[in-house]
């Protein structure tokens, strides 16, 4: 399904290099997003693996999105994993329930 909003295209469950990306958009030169309900260390690794496949042969920004795990013991490793994978300037991790200014510290 394709959506057009404010001059850019958005596709949900879009075919991408042997898989189906949750969201693909032409916004800001292109982005592919993999959405997980909760982000912990393992789901971040899984999403980044999927995005690396979906991002082959294109220059789209790769975005992992989801809620920070509610498991307080898993939150530090999730935040640390996010900061590590974001060392690749092409990858961004967005915790939708966390103020990003706090994560950036």
Q: Which residues of 39-50 are buried (b: 16+ CB within 10 A; e: fewer)?
A: bbbebbeebbeb
The C-alpha atoms of residue 56 and residue 86 are separated, in whole angstroms, by 18
Q: How confident is the model at residue 8 (pLDDT cuts 50, 70, 90)?
A: confident
Residues 40-80 have pLDDT tens digits of: 999 999 999 999 999 999 999 999 999 999 999 999 999 99
Residues 32-47 have pLDDT tens digits of: 999 999 999 999 999 9
Asked if 61 contacts 51 with a C-beta cutoff of 8 angstroms, the reply is: no
- What is the pLDDT, as a whole number, of residue 102? 53
Q: What is the pTM of this model?
A: 0.86
């Amino acid at each position: 399904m394709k959506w057009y909003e404010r001059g850019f295209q958005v596709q949900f469950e879009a075919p991408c290099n042997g898989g189906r990306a949750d969201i693909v958009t032409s916004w800001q030169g292109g982005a592919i997003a993999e959405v997980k309900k909760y982000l912990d260390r393992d789901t971040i690794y899984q999403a980044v693996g999927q995005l690396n496949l979906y991002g082959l042969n294109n220059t789209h920004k790769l975005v992992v999105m989801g809620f920070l795990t509610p498991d307080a013991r898993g939150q530090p490793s999730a935040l640390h994993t996010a900061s590590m994978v974001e060392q690749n300037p092409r990858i961004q991790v967005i915790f939708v329930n966390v103020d990003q200014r706090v994560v950036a510290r």
